[in-house]
């Protein structure tokens, strides 16, 4: 899959989840490098601790190549029904879910073996 299509599908699936609760603001920030990318999506809706835990669990599912290589094609594509963050979790390198002042921020890192997510962050001013 071309990188552009992959990014569109990632954005689609995360946005599909966050838009289910109809936020007033949804901010999508993308930082690309040659060997990886960092996608950050923020909303302004309240989320319970349990929900955040579930999102974190789904996004950090153990890597499942047998499911990602086949069913992963539905990520951000087939939108009839509830969003399925585990589709995304099987494919990405790492995810973080954290609270912001009004809502939550979902950080997703994706890249090859050389990709180091801890040296790869969005500048603070971009998050404000």
Partner 1 sequence: MFSFIVTGIAADGAGKAFSGFLDLQLSPARLISDFMSASSVGASFINAAAVGAIGLILILWSKVQLSGAAFAAVFTMMGFALFGKTPVNIIPIIIGVYISGRLVGRSFSEYIIIALFGTALGPLVSLITCELGLSGLSAIAVGTAAGIATGFLLPAIAVSMLHFHQGYNLYNLGLSCGFFALFAAALIRAGGHTFDTLMLWHTEESLILTLLVPVLSLVLILTGLLSGGMKSLKDLLAIQKHSGRLPSDFMDMESMEGALLNSGLIGLAGSLYILLIGGDLNGPTIGGLLTIMGFGAFGTHLKNSWPVVLGVIIATLLFGKSLTAPGAILAAIFCTTLAPLAGAFGILTGLTAGFIHLILVHQTGAWQGGMNLYNNGFAGGLTAALIVSVIAWYRSRNSDFK
Nearer to partner 1, 28 or 74 (CB): 74
- Residues 72, 98, 25, CA angle at the centre, nearest 5°? 80
Number of residues that bind partner 1 (CB under 8 A): 21
Nearer to partner 1, 40 or 61 (CB): 61
Min CB(58)–partner 1 separation in Å: 9
Q: Site residues for partner 1, window 49-88 (CB under 8 A)?
A: 61-62, 64-71, 73-74, 77-82, 84, 86-87
Nearer to partner 1, 77 or 99 (CB): 77
Min CB(53)–partner 1 separation in Å: 14
Q: Which residues bind partner 1 (CB under 8 A)?
A: 61-62, 64-71, 73-74, 77-82, 84, 86-87
């Amino acid at each position: 899959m071309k990188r552009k299509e992959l990014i569109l599908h990632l954005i689609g699936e995360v946005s599909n989840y966050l838009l289910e609760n109809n936020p007033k603001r949804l901010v999508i920030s993308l930082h690309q490098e040659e060997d990886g990318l960092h996608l950050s999506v923020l909303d302004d809706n309240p989320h319970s601790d349990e929900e955040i835990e579930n999102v974190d669990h789904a996004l950090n599912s153990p890597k499942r190549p047998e499911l990602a290589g086949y069913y992963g094609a539905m990520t951000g594509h087939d939108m009839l029904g509830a969003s399925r963050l585990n589709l995304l979790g099987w494919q990405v390198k790492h995810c973080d879910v954290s609270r912001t002042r009004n809502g939550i921020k979902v950080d997703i890192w994706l890249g090859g073996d050389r990709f180091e997510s801890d040296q790869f962050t969005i500048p603070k001013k971009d998050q404000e």
